């Protein structure tokens, strides 16, 4: 597809790189000559210097024939106007990054009036992701599929776990009381593995499992990793994410406090979040953390601007025994370091937004097929979990899975039919209307038919 990305910030560059990797023709519009020069040698895209709201610049980028225009600059108003201009010129579909909380209540009106087909608020999406992670403190991360009927969670395998040292095909013969989940993916020594029946989980492996929420919950409890509710959360950094997250937590009746070093920002947060405790100070100051009761809170979330500060504060909270520590990181290279330090719950605003927009792009590229409905990139993008809905006419309908040729390094993880979740075996079939969750190491899958070789 012909895709225009407006804005060469972290999100814009990340999107452009992924879209190029997936075979799309990408044109980037950016006002800064320095940003253009920095990325021209490494990104196989067309670059145009100019403003995304300029009709002339958009014409130069061939907006009249663009399949998708993605406005991802730092300015909400610029993004909205760029989408409107591009659509008026003839672009087929427009995506805008809109971040300011002031636009939240009128977002549907703005989308309609400004011809915005899809709006993404990375900070709010990140806050929603964190709130899900807080529901399951024993899991590193959580993602839902099939309208909440399927949950995928991960954990770090430890010595003594009943899942360790046993081939997966023998798992439930030797542990008959263990709730049956599907083992979707395993990360070991920085490599991703789609496990087969003879695979053996080892201590230290990061394991992703999936099933219906009740079964996943019982599975974690059987490992001695209960999912007790979090009732108190301390947040470091008064960012937009912090505001959205605190608002969600307060609505869930969770005691919430925010540490913010800038007096003006702290004052504004206290006005916007009447039910939260706002603390003015440095969240990396261990004495401050102790005086504010770091040892007594059940969860600590680091949302400062600098990754180094988030890493330092998160490690200290983990050392002090906080039940759940979530660290925001904008650098993929830091993830391995954090996990080596015992920090498994890592969140990236860039990754959350990139995943969301890539899902929309893939669904647009497969409009007449069983297109991807949801997408969750596992382990820094080394694998993907994808949700599809099977359609009439698909060649794999009614065919037992054992007779289908699944592409290498892919796994049909879960099938949901008429609200019932099943972990599929060789004799199971995919029927019209089924929700199908697939885990794959092959990037760029946009339709369910691509999972099966003819």
Q: Are 174 and 166 in contact (CB under 8 A)?
A: yes
Q: How wide is the angle at C-alpha 441 spanned by C-alphas 397 and 450, nearest 5°?
A: 30
pLDDT, residue 259, reads 97
Question: What integer best gives the mean pLDDT of the chain?
Answer: 90
pTM of the model: 0.80
pLDDT, residue 142, reads 82
**pLDDT band for position 374 (50/70/90)?**
confident
Domain with CATH 3.30.70.1450 in the chain: 127-222, 365-453
Q: If you average pLDDT over residues 154-169, what whole number do you get?
A: 92
The CATH classification number of 365-453 equals 3.30.70.1450
The CATH classification number of 232-347 equals 3.40.50.720
Q: Which CATH number fits domain 127-222: 3.40.30.10, 1.10.3720.10, 3.30.70.1450, 3.40.50.720?
A: 3.30.70.1450
pLDDT, residue 280, reads 96
The set of residues, in sequence order, having a beta carbon less than 8 Å from that of 372 and lying 6+ positions away, is 359, 362, 363, 366, 386, 387, 388, 445, 446, 447
pLDDT, residue 415, reads 94
Domain with CATH 3.40.50.720 in the chain: 2-120, 232-347
pLDDT tens-digit series, residues 67-107? 999 999 999 999 999 999 999 999 999 999 999 988 988 99
Rounded distance between C-alpha atoms, residue 45 and residue 29, angstroms: 10
Instruction: Reply yes or no on whether the pLDDT at 55 is more than 90.
Output: yes
Establish how many alpha carbons lie within 13 A of residue 372's alpha carbon, considering only the half-sphere containing its beta carbon. 27
Q: If you average pLDDT over residues 236-265, what whole number do you get?
A: 95
**pLDDT band for position 226 (50/70/90)?**
low
Rounded to 5 degrees, what are φ and ψ at 272? Answer: -85, -25
Nearest to 445 by CA among 344, 343, 360, 372: 372
pLDDT, residue 336, reads 62
**pLDDT band for position 272 (50/70/90)?**
very high
Instruction: Reply yes or no on whether the pLDDT at 376 is more than 90.
Output: no
| Residue the block writes with tokens 């950094």 | 237
Q: Which CATH number fits domain 2-120: 3.40.50.300, 1.10.10.10, 3.40.50.720, 3.90.1330.10?
A: 3.40.50.720
Task: Label residue 145 exposed, middle or buried (CB < 10 Å: 0-12, 13-18, 19+).
Answer: buried
Rounded distance between C-alpha atoms, residue 174 and residue 355, angstroms: 38
- If residue 344 lies in a helix (H) or strand (E), which one and from where to where? none
Better-scored residue on pLDDT, 238 or 334 = 238
In DSSP terms, 255 is beta-bridged to 232
Lowest mean per-residue pLDDT among 123-127, 182-186, 330-334: 330-334
CA 179 to chain centre: 26
Instruction: Reply yes or no on whether the pLDDT at 149 is more than 80.
Output: yes
Lowest mean per-residue pLDDT among 142-146, 210-214, 286-290: 142-146
pLDDT tens-digit series, residues 388-397? 999 888 889 9
pLDDT, residue 316, reads 94
């Amino acid at each position: 597809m012909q895709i225009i990305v407006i804005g060469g910030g972290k999100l814009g560059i990340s999107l452009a790189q992924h879209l190029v990797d997936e075979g799309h023709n990408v044109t980037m519009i950016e006002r800064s000559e320095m940003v253009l020069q920095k990325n021209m040698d490494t990104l196989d895209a067309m670059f145009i210097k100019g403003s995304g709201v300029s009709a002339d610049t958009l014409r130069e980028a061939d907006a009249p024939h663009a399949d998708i225009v993605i406005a991802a600059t730092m300015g909400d108003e610029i993004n909205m106007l760029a989408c409107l201009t591009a659509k008026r010129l003839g672009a087929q579909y427009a995506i805008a990054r809109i971040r300011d909380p002031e636009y939240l209540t009128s977002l549907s009106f703005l989308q309609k009036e400004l011809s915005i087909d899809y709006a993404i608020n990375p900070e709010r999406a990140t806050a929603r992701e964190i709130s899900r992670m807080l529901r399951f403190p024993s899991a590193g991360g959580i993602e839902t599929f099939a309208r909440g009927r399927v949950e995928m969670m991960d954990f770090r395998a430890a010595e003594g776990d009943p899942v360790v040292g046993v081939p997966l095909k023998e798992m439930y013969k030797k542990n008959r009381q263990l709730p049956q989940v599907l083992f979707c993916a395993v990360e070991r020594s920085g490599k991703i593995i789609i496990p087969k029946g003879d695979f053996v989980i080892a201590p230290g492996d990061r394991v992703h499992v999936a099933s219906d929420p009740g079964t996943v919950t019982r599975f974690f409890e059987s490992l001695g990793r209960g999912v007790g509710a979090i009732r108190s959360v301390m947040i470091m950094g008064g960012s937009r994410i912090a505001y959205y997250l605190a608002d969600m937590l307060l609505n869930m009746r969770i005691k919430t406090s925010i540490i913010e070093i800038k007096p003006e920002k702290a004052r504004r947060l206290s006005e916007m979040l009447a039910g939260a405790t706002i603390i003015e100070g440095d969240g990396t100051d261990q004495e401050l953390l102790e005086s504010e009761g770091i040892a007594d809170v059940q969860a600590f979330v680091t949302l400062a601007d600098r990754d180094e500060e988030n890493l330092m504060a998160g490690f200290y909270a983990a050392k002090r025994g906080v039940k759940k520590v979530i660290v925001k990181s904008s650098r993929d290279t830091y993830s391995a370091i954090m996990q080596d330090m015992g920090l498994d719950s890592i969140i990236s605003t860039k990754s959350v937004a990139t995943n969301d927009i890539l899902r929309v792009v893939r669904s647009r590229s497969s409009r007449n097929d069983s297109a991807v409905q949801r997408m969750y990139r596992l382990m820094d993008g080394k694998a993907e979990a994808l949700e599809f809905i099977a359609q009439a006419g698909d060649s794999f309908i009614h065919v037992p899975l054992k007779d289908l040729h699944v592409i290498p390094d892919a796994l049909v993880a879960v099938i949901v039919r008429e609200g019932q979740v099943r972990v599929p075996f060789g004799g199971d079939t995919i029927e019209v209307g089924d929700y199908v969750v697939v885990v794959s190491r092959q990037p760029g899958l946009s339709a369910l038919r691509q999972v099966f070789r003819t």
